[in-house]
Structure 1
Amino acid sequence: MNPALIGSLIAGYFLILMAVAWLTGRKANNASFFLGNRRSPWYLVSIGMIGSSLSGVTFISVPGWVQNQQFTYLQMVAGFVLGYIVIANILLPLYYRLNLTSIYSYLQDRFGLYTYKSGALLFIASRTVGSAARLYLMASVLQLAIFDALGVPFVVTVTLAILLIWLYTFKGGVGTIIWTDALQTLLMLSAVGITIYHVATSLQLSPSGLVQTIVDSELSRIFVWDNWKAPNHFIKQFFAGAFITIVMTGLDQDMMQKNLSCKTLRESQKNMYWYGIAFLPVNLLFMSLGVLLFTFVAHEGLPLPERADDLYPLLALGGHLPAAVGVFFILGLVAAAYSSADSALTALTTSFSIDILRIDKMPETKAKRLRTLTHIGFSLLTALVILVFRWLNKDSIIDTIYTLAGYTYGPLLGFYAFGLFTRLRIHDKLVPLAALLPPILTGILDFNAYNWFGFHLGYEKLILNGALTFLLLLLLGKK
């Protein structure tokens, strides 16, 4: 595609985002930046959260992931639904009852200052790496589609991508993101739908033929029951999905911050239920796209790319499909990446400002200045981590994100499980040990699992990590 055309489309898209940011951020203050003054319509929050959860990782990685994982990812997605039910009925009532802005404030009330700071820092580390990984995919595609032809270095591409996020979020925060994320989710799903339509047209498939092609494909296998040692066995995938959702949504400041911007607990729960229900068909749509893309490659006799993540971009931008597919692919990718990254940047700013700097105890003017500096600081840090991902040249980013989540969110799972399901007190000053030791032990077990036990650990590492944290907290308990 013509780089000038792509650049013009992206520029026009960001003009729309800036207009939305100006309209929603005219009367912004710290309260609206953090929680949108708790006036967000639940249905807009629900639509936007779909985009935030999917992000550019799902947009690019899931279609290519089908080659190795088939539809077995749906086993995990089914577990996600269970996780959303747990969040709606256990965590959301807790957060609303305590009237929290940062969800990690609960840890201070329950255990003490050191546990509180440990929880917040775990989130900050996890979300910084996760959001950078999501943006890395988008920046890499833009580099390939636009900036390589113009001779622009990757570091400039990353800087521009981060700067645009900062420009439309620095003032309005969550009050702006609720609207921009909903817009970006709709655009992303439209891009997938248009791609499926054009691939089906190229393959001369009727609607019924389209469904039959997907069903008959060897890539559409969903359930794995026969080998319990396999990382994608149903039981492992289902419960790993449930716990991943609990920690990466229910214990994540980014996702919960938007939920807490709803007017009431009931509306927030309604948002969570609808969001959870929608997640199954939306992910099925992405995996169906993956089957169709591999079918198209085989039909046209095209070579498969070395990296699975490159399949969708190469077909959309390589002239193999109509130009409309490439246009909507670029817009959908940018929308998908930004719907996750903008809220992550806001959540990181919120958590560091409130949990670490405690600006909620400061005068408004000083608090606003520190919040702005924090926002700039995390923008720069995210750009740096993206460059590290570029250097590492990771293959499947979605696998990387879930693997990292098992190590970084595991201790948070242990903290909250211990706080909610026991009445015990702990030696608060020793809690940083409980945040660091379980991931190290989990890593040792993961590295040696096949030699010691004859099987590989999958995403259930998260559950193992949380269980080790829980047991360590028991040892740190007070009489």
Structure 2
Amino acid sequence: MSSADFLVIFAYFLILLLITLHVTKQGATTSDFFSGHHDLPWWALCLSLVATETSTLTFISVPGVGYTNGMVFVGLACGYLIGRIIVAVWFLPLYAQGHFVSVYQQLGQRFGCPVQQLASGVFLLTRLIGEGVRLATGMLPLVWMMTQSGLLLDQSTLLIGILAVTAVYTLTGGLRAVIWSDTLQLAIYGLGAFLCVYLFASHPVNFGWLQAQMSGKFSLFHSGHGTFFNGAFTPSAALVGGTILSLASHGTDQLMVQRVLAARTLGAARMALIGSAIVVGVLFFLLSLVGIELWMRNQGASLATFGLHTPDELFPYAIVFDLPAGLRGLLIAGVLSATMGSLSATLNAMATASMTDFSVFRTAVVKMLAYLGVTGRSDVFVARTITIFWGVAIFLATLFMAGSAQSAVIVGLSIAGWSWGPVLGAFLYGMVFKQAQGRDVAKGLVGALVLMAFVLVGAPRLGVHIAFPWLVPLGLILLFLLAGLSRFVLGVHLAPHQNHLEEHTCHDTTR
């Protein structure tokens, strides 16, 4: 890398440090750590949502998809927009009325503590494995780009460095620091994507926009690819599957909903949520356009022509060999930003869910600190300790996943589809059926998770493949069927107030 590249990367970390110091000066209370004291502007929450959902893999993969399949990710973003509008209209008022810190408190209020803790436990497991996969696979292109640019770093050293820097600002500033750092990080890789589009468009090519249009690169959807359920970018998969996927990710997953719960008002929360769908659509458009421009520049040549084995290798290759000094550093900083943005959000969300939904976490930490002779510490200190615990757990999960990168990618694509559908089903079941019982939902949730595990692991061995947009709808349907079957077959006829008394609510340790 040139001195200009190093200067850009240094400037990124310097600005990140200044943000952390500014937020830390304002003090850190429990409300700050978990909800940013509910005084963050809607546009910052909007950008944080986008930064959280776009990991390193997204940033480097979408240009590769654009190279081979065109604008299909923009079509998927149309489904995301529909889903987030539904969440804003239907889900957010329920959360605002309850003044929740964890989204799973709504399940606790509706069905009792067991369902709340079951859903939250599934979230923690999903995030632990998912973030391990993100980091394990995301480190590969980062290490390659660093090595090709002349900076020799092995994967473990880079991982420890990223975890350490991310943990510092997450621990010191809580959600407030996470939100503002996310805003910076999205600005960096969003600007990098825009400059790439401008740079590649300014270079004349003989193989241009007309050829790209004739090759279907600007089509938002694909049609006629296989059967109905194994096409990932058909109109039905993008619009129906994408809508339901967005209902789950931004309506029932603590990682995303935590940002919306931190808004000043219900109106601000709605603006942040709906705005995030528009921003992510623009980001997908820019990254896809980068891929299309590279396709035109290479005159439609296959990736194998350049010694590339997968579409994911395209953008890192272009960053290292096709970009000028300075812009190369900005894009490498962008890849680092995408990694750190999703990681910091995960750490804070996991600590919040642990403290809010499981009093046993706080009790265990307090006892451990007392055993070490540390007493009289605040809940913020306890939350930071839990954050460190999850940071170590994610580090170990990443090392485990790095041992088998191919299976890690498969797990990474599957883990969200395994849990999001059943958990979304639990929320919707309680909204649709006023007489729904907690024990039926709990049984349905466990059963749906077991069946989804079979679908993801066993079905491909039988030759049955289901595209990722359809996994969430499938899990949702299974929850409704199994919860309804439990109520019908087992004959559970408790009145709602009897069920509420029997299934005590969880004790919230954050208030």
Q: TM-score, normalised by structure 1?
A: 0.89
Q: 2:449 corresponds to which letter in structure 1? A: P
TM-aligned CA distance change 1:12 to 1:364, over 3 Å: farther
Deviations 1:399-421 (Å, cap 9, x if unpaired)?
86443211021221111011111
Paired position in structure 2 for 1:393: 405
Give me the identity figure in percent.
Answer: 21
| Alpha carbons 1:139, 1:161 under 8 Å: kept | no
| Alpha carbons 1:308, 1:395 under 8 Å: kept | no
- Report the 3-state secondary structure (helix = DSSP H, G, I; strand = E; otherwise coil) of the residue aligned with 2:322: coil
Is 1:119 aligned to 2:119, yes or no? yes
TM-aligned CA distance change 1:448 to 1:345, over 3 Å: closer
1:384-463, aligned counterparts within 5 Å? 384-394=396-406, 401-426=412-437, 428=439, 433-445=443-455, 456-463=466-473
Deviations 1:102-154 (Å, cap 9, x if unpaired)?
11111111111111111101111222233333334543233223368665432
Distance 1:117 1:454 in 2: 33
Gaps of 5+ in 2: 367-374, 494-511
Is 1:377 aligned to 2:389, yes or no? yes
Distance 2:408 2:156 in 1: 21
Paired position in structure 2 for 1:188: 189
Paired position in structure 2 for 1:295: 296
- Of 356, 359, 380, the residue aligned with 2:358 is 356
Distance 1:212 1:380 in 2: 51
Distance 1:183 1:310 in 2: 26
Paired position in structure 2 for 1:305: 308
Paired position in structure 1 for 2:13: 14
Paired position in structure 1 for 2:502: none
Distance 1:107 1:454 in 2: 33
Q: 1:66 corresponds to which letter in structure 2? A: G
- Report the 3-state secondary structure (helix = DSSP H, G, I; strand = E; otherwise coil) of the residue aligned with 1:342: helix
TM-aligned CA distance change 1:457 to 1:41, over 3 Å: closer
| Alpha carbons 2:208, 2:296 under 8 Å: kept | no
| Alpha carbons 2:426, 2:441 under 8 Å: kept | no
Distance 2:142 2:157 in 1: 11
- Of 447, 463, 470, the residue aligned with 2:480 is 470
| Alpha carbons 1:200, 1:210 under 8 Å: kept | no
Query: More displaced, 338-347 or 147-156?
Result: 147-156
Query: More displaced, 150-159 or 12-21?
Result: 150-159
TM-aligned CA distance change 1:8 to 1:278, over 3 Å: closer
Paired position in structure 1 for 2:179: 178
1:35-434, aligned counterparts within 5 Å? 35-146=35-146, 152-204=153-205, 212=210, 214-226=212-224, 228-229=227-228, 230-232=230-232, 233-298=234-299, 303-317=306-320, 319-357=321-359, 365-394=377-406, 401-426=412-437, 428=439, 433-434=443-444
| Alpha carbons 1:177, 1:343 under 8 Å: kept | yes
Deviations 1:246-267 (Å, cap 9, x if unpaired)?
1111111121111111111111
Distance 1:135 1:411 in 2: 26
Distance 2:446 2:307 in 1: 41
- Report the 3-state secondary structure (helix = DSSP H, G, I; strand = E; otherwise coil) of the residue aligned with 1:394: helix
Deviations 1:265-300 (Å, cap 9, x if unpaired)?
111112222222333232122111111123333479
Q: Shift in Å at residue 332 of structure 1?
A: 1.4
TM-aligned CA distance change 1:199 to 1:335, over 3 Å: same
TM-aligned CA distance change 1:114 to 1:7, over 3 Å: farther
Q: 2:64 corresponds to which letter in structure 1? A: G
Deviations 1:319-353 (Å, cap 9, x if unpaired)?
33322332221011112222222112111111112
Q: Shift in Å at residue 472 of structure 1?
A: 1.5
Question: How many residue pairs get matched?
Answer: 472
Distance 1:285 1:75 in 2: 13
TM-aligned CA distance change 1:446 to 1:344, over 3 Å: closer
Q: 1:222 corresponds to which letter in structure 2? A: L
Distance 2:211 2:91 in 1: 41
Gaps of 5+ in 1: none
Q: TM-score, normalised by structure 2?
A: 0.84
RMSD of aligned alpha carbons: 3.0
Q: 2:88 corresponds to which letter in structure 1? A: A
